[in-house]
Amino acid sequence: MSHYTAHAIPAHVLKELRDRDDAGRPAVPVTDEEGGAPLRCCLRHSVSGESITLVSYAPLRRWAAATGADPGAYDEQGPVFVHAEECPGPSGADLPFTNAHRVLRRYSAEGRILGGQLVERDFAAALDEAFDDPSVAFVHVRAVEYGCFYYEVTRD
């Protein structure tokens, strides 16, 4: 899967979200006693004792603001875990969080949903299939259980 890039939430966006999230709420840091929260700032699971926060994030809204697109009704926000303080970002090139059921949601360059797919086994094949459609500009990887945004994937 080296011909795809996973995009964590950018550092400048994280700074804004830690002040006030996309729902207008201030972030509330907590100590993660158990570990295992999927962190969208560095694309790894938290470890016990880390300071994290749950914030509301609107990935399409922020993407649209940067590109001039209008996602219309597809503009949604949802909960994501991030470090409560700055973090170095992702440390590897591998696509994370692929070892469980996921949903791949395909988007056009205009921010419209082009389709979705439940991925139960072969994440790489499902991603290849999603990008076989030339009108797919990017893909969101999402949790099955809650529909939460994990990260965005683009072609290299």
Summarize pLDDT for 30-65 with one digit per residue, the tens.
999 999 999 999 999 999 999 999 999 999 998 898
Please indicate, yes or no, whether residues 17 and 63 belong to a single structural domain of this protein. Answer: yes
Instruction: Give burial (CB, 10 Å; 0-12/13-18/19+) of 118.
Output: exposed
Residues lower than pLDDT 70 in the chain: 1-2
Rounded distance between C-alpha atoms, residue 85 and residue 131, angstroms:
34
Same domain, 147 and 118: yes
Is residue 50 included in any domain, yes or no?
yes
Q: How many domains does the chain have?
A: 2
Q: What percent of the chain has pLDDT over 70?
A: 99
Q: Within a domain: residue 97?
A: no
Looking up tokens 């409560």 gives 84
- Nearest CA among 99, 77, 70 for reference residue 149: 77
User: Does 74 share its domain with 139?
Assistant: no
Domain boundaries, position 113? 102-155
| Residue 15, domain member (yes or no) | yes
In a domain, 89, yes or no: no
Check whether residue 39 and residue 71 sit in a common domain.
yes
pLDDT of amino acid 2? 57
Query: Is position 91 within any domain?
Result: no
Asked if the structure places residue 94 within a domain, the reply is no
Residue 93 placed within a domain: no
Tokens of 113: 């949903």
Query: 14 and 60: one domain?
Result: yes
61 and 112: one domain? no
Q: Write down the pLDDT at residue 100.
A: 87
| pLDDT number for residue 71 | 86
